[in-house]
Amino acid sequence: MFRYRFPSRTLASKLILTHLTLKGVSAGNPFVCNHGFHSHPSNDTVENLSLLTQTQWKASTKLSASMSLLPKCYPLLFYSLHSNYASLRSVRRWHKKSKKVSKPPLDEGQFNRSVSQLPPRFTPEDLSNVITLQEDPLVCLELFNWASRQPRFRHDVSSYHITIKKLGSAKLYQEMDDVVNQVLAVSDIGSEALFNTSIYFFTEARKLSRAVSIYKHMRKSRVLGCRPSVITYNLLFTALLGRGNNSYINHVYMDTIRSLFRQMVNDGIEPDIFSLNAMIKGYVNSLHVNDALRIFHQMGTVYKSLPNSHSYNYLIHGLCAQSRTINAKELYGEMKNKGFVPSSKAYNSLVNCLAIGGEVEEAVRILWEMVERQRLADFITYRTILGEICRQGRVAEAMRLLKEWQEKELVDGHTYRKLLYGLEDEFGNSKE
Ligand SMILES: *[C@@H]1O[C@H](CO)[C@@H](O)[C@H](O)[C@H]1NC(C)=O
Ligand SMILES: *[C@@H]1O[C@H](CO)[C@@H](O)[C@H](O)[C@H]1NC(C)=O
Ligand SMILES: *[C@@H]1O[C@H](CO)[C@@H](O)[C@H](O)[C@H]1NC(C)=O
Ligand SMILES: *[C@@H]1O[C@H](CO)[C@@H](O)[C@H](O)[C@H]1NC(C)=O
Ligand SMILES: CC(=O)N[C@H]1CO[C@H](CO)[C@@H](O)[C@@H]1O
């Protein structure tokens, strides 16, 4: 039978760090080098590091400086992601081809019926209305293309926008891309909403560089209603944050996020709570907790948004991952005073970091508070608490606590046994 061993203190803190540092830990543990990076890198994670303008390159120089501080395994990771990306790209290309072959034929009847709904000298608005009501995306595309071929017809923002929406929602990304290119080719056409929609679907399609190229087009636009808004930036932040699965990748993308944020502020666009939390989360995930704290302290002073529960959750987690227990506890207190309830992840981080830091009583107290507030503790948290109590020579007390957890149904039978065997293995069979 597989038995859990209670890790030694240093190993434990490593494990906890792993546990704390990032979501999707198994994919990329920044603290353990020989650990399946190649097993499942997200396919197009490191897509294009020169996504942004020159500012990006300046930022990249800084990156390589800080990279040298990271463990030696990172270049390997980098390499393996790159090669994997290349091979995945060819797989995707093949996939795209095979998809084209199996594309269902156009429903001509539907198409004819839609065309017959249009008045003889139809306007772009008439066309948009017909496309809006049409459920078949291929018929929508055909209507769009057919209209383009009519001699006196010119598309406007509304007919482009609805077609892009229909194709994007149907995941016909290649077809959508073609329509977006037609919009980009006409310099005086577009709207913030149309571009937002395009950015959104490109990020869904994991075509991050296309999303960024739309953003650049918006920034260059002289038309006021086409310039990037806070929504545009937030869409890009979300896409960039969604990429990272380990701190190295987060590190790379954080540079892009940081330049975007700088451009946003320079262009006079006020970041909202979502943008600020994106910055905090990005900094925490890339292990720049002090930068995260700087943003946090600027909330409400430099920027007009006060921290919400997400801001606190990210920071508590980030501080705990760096064993900054005192700071984490401060924020936890502040958060509770404001009436926010920490997330399960923030609670788990805090309890772990208190226990490892020797404050076991406090850890247990907060664990009970968690339970009261219906936040779930995880296996590592339970194991850490028991391990630390035992390490202080109070094995019987740990056993009692474990029993209590079982009686209150916090741990199921399986978890109970796993924890119990672990205790027995590590600390002998001292029964009460
Ligand atoms: C990150 O890793 C987890 C588990 O390893 C996986 O489930 C998830 O899909 C990954 N996310 C991304 C964006 O690659
Ligand atoms: C990338 O990988 C994820 C899961 O790992 C998958 O769902 C997605 O379809 C892939 N994207 C592409 C474009 O291959
Ligand atoms: C990466 O982006 C830059 C600038 O946007 C572009 O010139 C370059 O061709 C892109 N590289 C790849 C591999 O897509
Ligand atoms: C649709 O209209 C075209 C041209 O008017 C015609 O040739 C075709 O047979 C029609 N298709 C259907 C299925 O009604
Ligand atoms: C996908 C997305 O967020 N689109 C938004 C783009 O901007 C317009 C208006 O500014 C919003 O209405 C859309 O929801």
pLDDT tens across 89-111, in order? 444 444 554 455 567 788 999 99
| Class level of CATH domain 1-30+308-432 | mainly alpha
Residues 251 and 28: their CA atoms lie apart, in Å, by 13
**How far apart are the CA of 73 and the centre of ligand 2, in A?**
25
**How far apart are the CA of 40 and the centre of ligand 1, in A?**
8
Residue 377: Cβ within 10 Å count: 21
Partners of 163 in beta bridges: none
Lowest mean pLDDT among 69-78, 180-189, 192-201: 69-78
User: What's the whole-number mean pLDDT along residues 155-180?
Assistant: 96
**How far apart are the CA of 209 and the centre of ligand 3, in A?**
8
Rg of the chain, C-alpha, whole Å:
27
Higher pLDDT residue, 82 or 397? 397
Residue of 50, 85, 215 best suited for mutating to test ligand 3, as the one with most atoms within 8 Å of CB: 50
Angle formed by the axes of helices 379-391 and 344-356, to 10°?
20
For ligand 5, say whether the CB of 234 is within 6 Å of any of its atoms. Answer: no
Which H, E and C letters describe 175-201, residue by residue? HHHHHHHHHHHCCCCCCHHHHHHHHHH
Average pLDDT, the chain: 80
Lowest mean pLDDT among 43-52, 171-180, 207-216: 43-52
pLDDT tens across 392-418, in order? 989 889 999 999 999 998 989 899 999
For ligand 5, say whether the CB of 192 is within 6 Å of any of its atoms. Answer: yes
Give the torsion sign (CA, 47, 49, 50, 52).
positive
For ligand 5, say whether the CB of 200 is within 6 Å of any of its atoms. Answer: yes
Full-model pTM: 0.72
**How far apart are the CA of 207 and the centre of ligand 5, in A?**
19
**What pLDDT shows up at residue 109?**
92
Return the ligand number nearest the Cα of 164. 5
Residue of 112, 114, 142, 146 best suited for mutating to test ligand 4, as the one with most atoms within 8 Å of CB: 112
What ligand 2 atom has the least distance to the C-alpha of 40?
5
In the chain, % of residues over pLDDT 70 = 74
pLDDT tens across 224-275, in order? 889 999 999 999 999 988 876 666 777 778 888 999 999 999 999 999 999 9
What ligand 2 atom has the least distance to the C-alpha of 205?
13
- DSSP letter at 105 equals P
Q: Do 1-30+308-432 and 108-232 fold alike per CATH?
A: yes
The CATH superfamily assigned to 108-232 is Tetratricopeptide repeat domain (1.25.40.10)
pLDDT tens across 16-31, in order? 343 333 333 333 333 3
**What pLDDT shows up at residue 19?**
37
What ligand 4 atom has the least distance to the C-alpha of 111?
1
**What pLDDT shows up at residue 33?**
29
Residue of 108, 110, 136 best suited for mutating to test ligand 4, as the one with most atoms within 8 Å of CB: 108
Q: What's the burial of 298, exposed, middle or buried (CB within 10 Å: 0-12/13-18/19+)?
A: middle
Closest residue by Cα to atom 4, ligand 2, is: 42
- In the chain, what are the domain boundaries? 1-30+308-432, 108-232
Closest residue by Cα to atom 1, ligand 5, is: 197
**What pLDDT shows up at residue 179?**
97
**What pLDDT shows up at residue 223?**
82
For ligand 5, say whether the CB of 118 is within 6 Å of any of its atoms. Answer: no
**How far apart are the CA of 311 and the centre of ligand 5, in A?**
24
For ligand 5, say whether the CB of 49 is within 6 Å of any of its atoms. Answer: no
**How far apart are the CA of 235 and the centre of ligand 5, in A?**
9
What ligand 2 atom has the least distance to the C-alpha of 44?
1
In the chain, % of residues over pLDDT 90 = 61
Residues 70 and 167: their CA atoms lie apart, in Å, by 43
Phi/psi of residue 425, nearest 5 degrees: -60, -45
Residues 119 and 126: their CA atoms lie apart, in Å, by 8
Asked if the model's pLDDT at residue 202 lies above 90, the reply is yes
What residues are in contact with ligand 4 under a 6 Å CB criterion? 108-109, 112
**What pLDDT shows up at residue 15?**
37
Asked if the model's pLDDT at residue 138 lies above 90, the reply is yes
Asked if the model's pLDDT at residue 2 lies above 80, the reply is no
**How far apart are the CA of 80 and the centre of ligand 3, in A?**
20
Q: How confident is the model at residue 388 (pLDDT cuts 50, 70, 90)?
A: very high
**What pLDDT shows up at residue 102?**
64
